[in-house]
Chains A and B, each alone.
Chain A
Amino acid sequence: MAKVTITVNGVKHTKQVEDRTLLANFLRDELGLTGTHIGCDTSQCGCCTVHVNGRAVKSCTMVAAQADGTQVTTIEGMAKKGKLHPIQQAFSECHGLQCGFCTPGMIMATAGLLKDNPNPTEDEIYKGLEGNLCRCTGYINIVKAVKASAKALRRK
């Protein structure tokens, strides 16, 4: 068993978990943060994207122990005081989702992309979301939502 301490969305959690526990399972099963989805469990789809020390990673492809001592942000940490994060707002307004399963990962990946590149071109958006799949193929509106997010964040 591994003693793992991770600060998730600003709150420090210490848990005893099996060493092989994936970060995605730690978040979902130990902390009840089920906004982080496990889509493919093979590092393809990006539904499980969270930020570890400010960088987007696939939480199904690291064990929780690797994240010991880090700061993690999940989709639950995006909205503040009941107000949607500008990226969430943009996905809502642009209808950047169909079934919604990939959305948490898309939003976390978008946050990562816009941190590195606040004003991406359409090509850069496609490349920036390369690690995320939408099985409904709703990419047109997702890209629209990313553009609207970028605009909203630049205004802030």
Chain B
Amino acid sequence: MYALNYVRPKSVKEAADFLATHPEAKLISGGMTLIPTLKQRLAKPTHLVDIAHLAELGKIEVKAGKLIIGAGARHHVVATSAVVKKAIPALAALAHEIGDPQVRNQGTLGGSVANNDPAADYPAAVLGLGATVVTNKRSIAAEDYFQGLFTTALEEGEIVLRVEFPLPKRAAYSKFHHPASGYAMAGVFLAQTAEGVRVAVTGAGPGVFRWKEAETALGKSLKPAALEGVKLDSSNFNDDMHADRAYRANLVRVMAKRALAKLSGKK
């Protein structure tokens, strides 16, 4: 990687001030995507601003009907947290499916959400549960936050502090792992909420999206058969050496059915 400077601010405020005066600096949390990116010389930040150590980003709690997880919470911590397991077990299960154990010990919720890899797992839960991304400047609804391929509503120097997940009645996540990378070839997060059923899809398209037709169908009947023949626009789906468009479209439907089976307690 190119030469750079490492700094470790003592607070979010200090990190924000540093970013404001150093436009080419980059935040690092777990670094599970950033370090490999730097090693490939695909980015050349002047500074790495490490916020992984900030205690103010590490909290996990349930408050006012919401599960609140700090941006610095590592995947392993989310996967094994008694609070998360009780509040939204599907979210703990999702965190346990990310990457591999070493990645889960380092990677963080905030990093995943800020990076918005089109095949990452967390975006499916954030959108599927209708969560809110809270930054040092504002609160952003999931619908507005995710804007396609590695793109989010975050502005320069804006720092994700936490994600607030409204508690669903039930939720489930099902993912087809890429056999080498562990990323989702297709992942479907399904949530039954007070407002209805939400279906968020990751891995298949250029970014996480809601499968609205499936939500309508499942709103009428929460049975796998309800998904048969439901329209799924796959025109912008990824089409690569790992899976073509039609295969990914089929995977989405299969993952949705599997998530549905999990939701009903069937394996």
Contacts and interface: CB of A to CB of B under 8 A. Distances in A.
Interface of A: 2, 18-20, 22, 41-44, 46, 49, 55-58, 61-63, 65-66, 68, 109, 112-113, 116, 128, 130-132
Nearest to A68: B8
Interface of B: 1-6, 8, 28, 31-32, 35-36, 38-39, 48, 50, 52, 76, 80, 99-103, 105-106, 180, 182
Contact of A19 (B5, B32, B103): B5
A57 B102 contact: yes
- Nearest 7 pairs of A and B residues by beta carbon: A131-B100, A55-B105, A65-B6, A130-B100, A19-B6, A131-B102, A58-B102
Q: Which of A44, A109, A130 has the most CB of B within 10 A?
A: A130
B190 to A, nearest CB: 23
Contact of A62 (B4, B99, B106, B182): B106
SS class, residues of chain B in contact with chain A: mixed
Contact of B36 (A19, A42, A113, A116): A42
A19 B102 contact: no
Nearest to A56: B102
A66 B52 contact: yes
21 contacts: A19-B6, A20-B4, A43-B32, A43-B102, A43-B103, A46-B100, A55-B106, A58-B102, A61-B32, A62-B35, A63-B6, A65-B6, A66-B50, A66-B52, A68-B8, A112-B102, A116-B80, A128-B101, A131-B102, A131-B103, A132-B100
Nearest to A61: B35
A68 B31 CA distance: 15
Contacts of B101: 56, 109, 112-113, 128, 130-131
Nearest to A105: B102
A116 B80 CA distance: 10
